[in-house]
Structure 1
Amino acid sequence: MPVSGIGSITDVAGIRVGHAHRVDDDATVATPEAPGSGWATGVTVVTLPAGSVAAVDVRGGGPGTRETDLLDPVNSVQTAHAIVLTGGSAYGLAAADGVMAGLEEAGVGLRMDDRGGVVPIVPGAVVFDLPVGGWRNRPDAAMGAAALAAAGTAVGRGSVGAGTGARAGVLKGGVGTASTTVDLGDGVAVTVAAIMVANPVGDVVDPGMGLPWDASADEMAVHGLTAPSAAQIAALGELREKATVLNTTIGVVATDARLDPAATRRVAMAAHDGMAHAIRPAHSPLDGDTVFAVATGAVEPPAHPDVPDGMHPAVPSIARIGAAAAVVTRRAIVDAVLSATGVAGIPAHRDILAPASHG
């Protein structure tokens, strides 16, 4: 459901997003007394334009990932063709097989011979949502292929794709996205954007206020928020007393700037600051927090002649892009929670607190 005024990751030209998920109306969450039942999980695929540079930074204590070693700047491959964000914990990594197959069928990947042989590079990360719905009901290669086939410029938000079974603390988590434009000087501007799957152990909503942490007046206006009543905040407190731990926030930050692999990694690192601003606590031993970064290379950042000798001349531009990455990561995580709808009995923010108004 689009939110006016915050943008999306597809504002970076060439980026596409697709979701696939299954939600049963009678899905339940596992309890000590009974296992969960039904389906409530999904996959989100982010496809990248040719020539993109990709990197990753992992900060959580319990990550579930694929092809992250490949993205180390010291290694040979510097690109990716798609990034998979998925539910299903480690089982969900199977979704990337379907994405690889679909890209291969389209001839997309590292070209390895003169007969059309390609190897698509498809990194991925998972959230732990297995207790939401039946334990064995998790994404597979077919669901990954379906998400790839659905990729486009319109980005679904909330309880969709990899965010279908997500929970943010005790409230429903989901998928959120945001973008901004950064003036680098010399008439050069770049777009920086993020898509995040919010499923953290920590809270995105301040339990004492019932609003996102440090929410500004502008942010409240964009999302149509009002301060919750004392009764609503008390209801949130009652939920927190019965909390069940789920974990991991994952996502992709992207820019149309031309960056090398090391600078792209710095952008992924900076994005984690936005995660820490949105979630308290973040990066816990129970989270697998992972952020991929993508630089499509469409815009050349300006060099800065006053940079000291021996330092990369674009360092001031890289710093501004990183700062923007933190901002859009935070906004995307907040968007995920405010856009979510209840699934499997997990209440959404709009169900318990002041409802968000989307336009």
Structure 2
Amino acid sequence: MGSLTDVPGVRVGHDQKVGDGWLTGVTVVLPPPGTVGSVDVQGGGPATHETDALDPTSLVSQVDAVVLAGGSAYGLAAAAGTQRWCEENGRGFEVPGGVVPIVPAAAIFDLGRGGNFAARATPDMGYAATSAAAAEKEGHDVGRGNVGAGTGALLGRTYKGGVGTASVTLDGGVIVGALAVVNALGLPLVEHSLLKESVTGPPLNTTLVVVATNAVLDVAECKRTASASHAGIARALSPSHTLADGDTVFCLATGTVALDRSDETARQVSLITLQSAAADVVRLAILDGVASAEAVSTPAGDFGAYGGQIR
């Protein structure tokens, strides 16, 4: 399967709390300095932070970290902890007197699943996850399943979701990796009629994805790659991109391997190949997240209004 950290310089850190009402966490993707990034949001119910800054028409083009968190909109506060770590380490957009870290974030809905609605991802958890990522070695293994932002994730609000990751290496040494936090309304390869029978509770869901590549891409090309990567969500989950999902894909390009841009045809083929691969690894990362989730049976009520058989 590979992982997001097969892209040189990219590191991933998790922090989570379980028990005493807690069932949530934070996952931070820490790319190397100078990484270019953008984002595409296609879910109807997103919880996001600083995504407008990643628009190709905006001032900045570089991303210092990406935060994925539990806690719905409340959990976006975790990004403040990551910003604090980045500032302490001199990472950010240079301004007179210091730096302003560019730290976009997105969150899944897991409120109350540990029993306490107020137990949400915090700035301290964001800081801890960032520190954990920074301490990892090049090419490290990524924690999968019910860790980080996937700690309280559910699939179809009935089965355990979680964190998954995958990668592929293309001709010319281009690597494309993806990390997904699967907390979706849809289920893998399930007809809508079966989905309706297995779902209870209000529709509050999200699949969050970070795609990374070592290719040289500008912000507009990152935006298009993020958009194309949403196809991977649709291939893995049915339904996807609903009004009740906050499906969001970030794309990061570390810029160490040049694509073939010898003429216009070569440029288009290179980008189409990369973007098609990105959709494929997103699909694989989602399926990996489902497969890596804990195989446990939980009595109804342990997830509050989201009780049922968790397996």
Aligned to 1:39: 22
Which stretch shows the higher mean deviation, 239-248 or 160-169?
Answer: 239-248
Aligned to 1:22: 17
Conserved 8 A contact 1:172-1:347: no
Q: Determine which of 128, 132, 143 is the counterpart of 2:109.
A: 128
Confirm whether residue 95 of structure 1 aligns to residue 78 of structure 2: yes
Q: Determine which of 150, 162, 165 is the counterpart of 1:174.
A: 162
Q: Determine which of 174, 180, 185 is the counterpart of 1:190.
A: 174
Conserved 8 A contact 1:304-1:316: no
Q: Determine which of 187, 195, 199 is the counterpart of 1:203.
A: 187
Q: Which deviations, in whole Å up to 9, do the C-alpha atoms of 1:49-80 show, x marking residues without a partner?
A: 11111000000001110111110001110011
Count the aligned residue pairs: 294
TM-score after normalising by structure 1 = 0.78
Shift in CA distance, 316/165, structure 1 to aligned 2, threshold 3 Å = same
Conserved 8 A contact 1:81-1:108: yes
Consecutive unaligned residues in structure 2, runs of 5 or more: none
Aligned to 1:273: 231
Confirm whether residue 305 of structure 1 aligns to residue 289 of structure 2: no
Q: Secondary structure in 2 aligned to 1:314?
A: helix
Q: Which amino acid in structure 2 is aligned with residue 262 of structure 1?
A: A
Within a 5 Å distance, the mapping from 1:71-110 to structure 2 comes to: 71-110=54-93
CA distance in 2, matches of 1:147, 1:128: 19
Conserved 8 A contact 1:167-1:246: no
Shift in CA distance, 166/123, structure 1 to aligned 2, threshold 3 Å = same
Consecutive unaligned residues in structure 1, runs of 5 or more: 1-5, 28-37, 209-235, 308-312, 352-359
Shift in CA distance, 201/103, structure 1 to aligned 2, threshold 3 Å = same
Q: Secondary structure in 2 aligned to 1:249?
A: strand
Q: Determine which of 285, 304, 325 is the counterpart of 2:243.
A: 285
Aligned to 2:209: 251
Q: Percent identity?
A: 50
Could you list the runs of 4 or more consecutive aligned residues of structure 1 that deviate by over 6 angstroms after TM superposition?
A: 236-239
Shift in CA distance, 69/237, structure 1 to aligned 2, threshold 3 Å = closer
Conserved 8 A contact 1:15-1:47: yes
Q: Which deviations, in whole Å up to 9, do the C-alpha atoms of 1:181-225 show, x marking residues without a partner?
A: 112xxxx220000000000111125369xxxxxxxxxxxxxxxxx
CA distance in 2, matches of 1:46, 1:72: 19
Confirm whether residue 118 of structure 1 aligns to residue 99 of structure 2: yes
Confirm whether residue 56 of structure 1 aligns to residue 9 of structure 2: no
Report the aligned-residue RMSD: 2.0
Q: Secondary structure in 1 aligned to 2:174?
A: strand
Aligned to 2:124: 142
Kindly state the Cα deviation for residue 315 of structure 1 after the two structures are TM-superposed.
1.8
CA distance in 1, matches of 2:207, 2:277: 19
Kindly state the Cα deviation for residue 108 of structure 1 after the two structures are TM-superposed.
1.3
Kindly state the Cα deviation for residue 314 of structure 1 after the two structures are TM-superposed.
1.6
Conserved 8 A contact 2:191-2:238: no
TM-score after normalising by structure 2 = 0.90
